[in-house]
């Protein structure tokens, strides 16, 4: 079962509204609707009663909502458990975390770990996700945090962590600023300001543009997401950045976030470590 689709279904069911869920998690209603339909096709059931004027789950939908919420909570809690199992017999834990991820999600997780295991030394490397994967392969770090999908995924244990989306960032005076959604193909003639090659987001932006039929005109690459946001605020081009980063740490009346589609652009975070390495 696709965990992102399940997460969307739980969000919709909890709010009893596609509209409220779309606004709260910054995903288009069409994307949420597709996710629900995909789940229904996969499970061969109807999850939402579409004949009702108000929002109502079917019996199968209520079961999936209750059990799905438990599953997602288990996955979230397993992040702590996996670190404990990996390092029962170790005195040092080497973790690679991209700065844009550690800023939003993992500082609290690491704080809990330090309190629970004060005798284990943490060695944190804040580097781009591409470098994280290379360092795991080289044996320089024990566990890494990356953006999915990753190359040669069969070589790793993968623990899903968080799921959100990336968004188009434009100046408030940009012609697209009045839009709520934009197709990638509409960005063909834009000047791109993107994170540099150490970030998986760099390669994924280029790939999505190529899927849309063009290669992006990149005018600036930087390792600092806030610098790129400032460049957009000064109308020097457009950027694509994770929604949680922008919503939590950057507020400006000079920029507008816009949903991306065709193709959609999720930001799926996972913890990985190599399969052949034993931690017991």
3-state SS, residue 67? helix
| Claim to verify: residue 117 and residue 134 sit in the same structural domain | yes
Mean pLDDT of the chain: 86
Q: Considering 76, 103, 138, which residue would you say is the last residue of a domain?
A: 76
pLDDT tier for residue 246 given thresholds of 50, 70 and 90: confident
What is the percentage of the chain residues whose pLDDT exceeds 70? 89
The answer to whether residues 123 and 92 touch, using CB atoms and an 8 Å cutoff, is yes
Query: Is residue 254 pLDDT above 60, yes or no?
Result: yes
pLDDT digits (tens, 9 = 90+) for 80-106: 666 666 555 556 788 888 877 776 666
Q: 257 lies in a domain?
A: yes
Number of independent structural domains in the chain:
3
| Claim to verify: residue 115 and residue 196 sit in the same structural domain | no
Q: 280 lies in a domain?
A: no
| Claim to verify: residue 173 and residue 239 sit in the same structural domain | yes
| Claim to verify: residue 132 and residue 180 sit in the same structural domain | no
Q: 134 lies in a domain?
A: yes
Give whole-number Cα distances, 41 to 27, 47, 51, 119, 175, in Å. 21, 10, 18, 49, 38
Q: How far apart are CA 65 and CA 107, in angstroms?
A: 29
pLDDT value at residue 87: 55
Give whole-number Cα distances, 122 to 77, 95, 113, 242, 271, in Å. 20, 7, 9, 26, 16
pLDDT value at residue 280: 43
Give the CATH number of the domain where residue 101 resides.
3.40.190.10
Give the CATH number of the domain where residue 72 resides.
1.10.10.10
| Claim to verify: residue 129 and residue 187 sit in the same structural domain | no
Q: How far apart are CA 182 and CA 46, in angstroms?
A: 30
| Claim to verify: residue 174 and residue 262 sit in the same structural domain | yes
- Evaluate if pTM is beyond 0.75: no
| Claim to verify: residue 191 and residue 174 sit in the same structural domain | yes
* Structural domain harbouring 185: 164-266
pLDDT value at residue 109: 63
**Which of 18-22, 69-73, 116-120, 262-266 shows the lowest per-residue confidence on average (mean pLDDT)?**
116-120
Q: 173 lies in a domain?
A: yes
Q: Which long-range contacts (CB under 8 A, 24 or more apart) does 173-177 make?
A: 173/235, 174/235, 174/238, 174/256, 176/238, 176/258, 177/256, 177/258
| Claim to verify: residue 84 and residue 70 sit in the same structural domain | no
Name the nearest CA neighbour of 277 among 75, 149, 141.
141
Q: What is the mean pLDDT of residues 140-159?
A: 87
Q: 279 lies in a domain?
A: no
Give the CATH number of the domain where residue 216 resides.
3.40.190.290
Q: Considering 35, 61, 76, which residue would you say is the last residue of a domain?
A: 76
Q: How far apart are CA 236 and CA 8, in angstroms?
A: 34
With residues binned 3-state (H G I as helix, E B as strand, rest as coil), the percentages for the chain, rounded to 5, are 45, 25, 30
3-state SS, residue 121? strand
pLDDT value at residue 279: 45
Q: 188 lies in a domain?
A: yes
Q: Considering 15, 42, 76, which residue would you say is the last residue of a domain?
A: 76
Q: 127 lies in a domain?
A: yes
Q: 212 lies in a domain?
A: yes
Q: What is the mean pLDDT of residues 144-171?
A: 87
pLDDT digits (tens, 9 = 90+) for 28-59: 888 889 989 998 998 899 999 988 888 999 99
| Claim to verify: residue 181 and residue 241 sit in the same structural domain | yes
Decide the pairing of beta strands 121-126 and 92-97. parallel
| Claim to verify: residue 156 and residue 185 sit in the same structural domain | no
**Which of 1-10, 18-27, 105-114, 212-221 shows the lowest per-residue confidence on average (mean pLDDT)?**
105-114
- In total, the chain counts a number of residues equal to 280
Q: How far apart are CA 182 and CA 258, in angstroms?
A: 7
pLDDT digits (tens, 9 = 90+) for 181-209: 999 999 999 999 999 998 889 999 999 99
Q: What is the mean pLDDT of residues 170-178?
A: 96
The answer to whether residues 64 and 71 touch, using CB atoms and an 8 Å cutoff, is no
| Claim to verify: residue 168 and residue 155 sit in the same structural domain | no
Q: How far apart are the first and last CA of the chain?
A: 29
94 DSSP β-pair partners: 123
Q: How far apart are CA 43 and CA 203, in angstroms?
A: 33
Quote the DSSP letter at residue 52: S
pLDDT value at residue 168: 96
Dihedral sign of CA atoms 225, 135, 140, 280 in order: positive
Outline where DSSP puts E strands in 24-78. none
| Claim to verify: residue 129 and residue 193 sit in the same structural domain | no
- Cα 137 to chain centroid distance, Å, stands at 22
């Amino acid at each position: 079962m696709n965990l992102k689709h399940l997460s969307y279904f739980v969000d919709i069911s909890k709010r009893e509204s596609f509209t409220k869920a779309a606004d709260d998690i910054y995903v288009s209603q069409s994307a949420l609707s597709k996710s629900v339909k995909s789940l229904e096709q996969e499970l061969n059931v109807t999850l939402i009663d579409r004949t009702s004027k108000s929002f109502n789950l079917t019996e199968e939908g209520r079961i999936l909502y209750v059990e799905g919420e438990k599953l997602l909570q288990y996955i979230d809690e397993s992040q702590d458990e996996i670190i404990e199992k990996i390092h029962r017999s170790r005195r040092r834990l080497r973790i690679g975390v991209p700065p844009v991820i550690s800023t939003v999600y993992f500082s609290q997780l690491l704080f809990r770990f330090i309190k629970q295991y004060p005798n284990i030394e943490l060695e944190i490397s804040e580097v781009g996700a591409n470098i994280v994967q290379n360092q795991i392969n080289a044996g320089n770090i024990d566990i890494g945090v990356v953006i999915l999908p990753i190359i040669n995924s069969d070589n790793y244990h993968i623990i899903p962590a968080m799921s959100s989306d990336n968004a188009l960032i434009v100046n408030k005076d940009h012609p697209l600023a009045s839009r709520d959604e934009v197709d990638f193909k509409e960005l063909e003639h834009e000047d791109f300001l993107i994170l540099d090659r150490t970030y998986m987001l760099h390669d994924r932006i280029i790939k999505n543009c190529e899927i849309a039929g063009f290669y992006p005109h990149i005018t600036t690459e930087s390792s600092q997401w806030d610098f790129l946001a400032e460049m957009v605020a000064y109308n020097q081009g457009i950027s694509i950045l994770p929604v949680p980063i922008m919503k939590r740490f950057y507020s400006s009346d000079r920029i507008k976030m816009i949903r991306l589609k065709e193709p959609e652009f999720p930001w799926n975070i996972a913890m990985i470590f190599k399969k052949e390495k034993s931690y017991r």
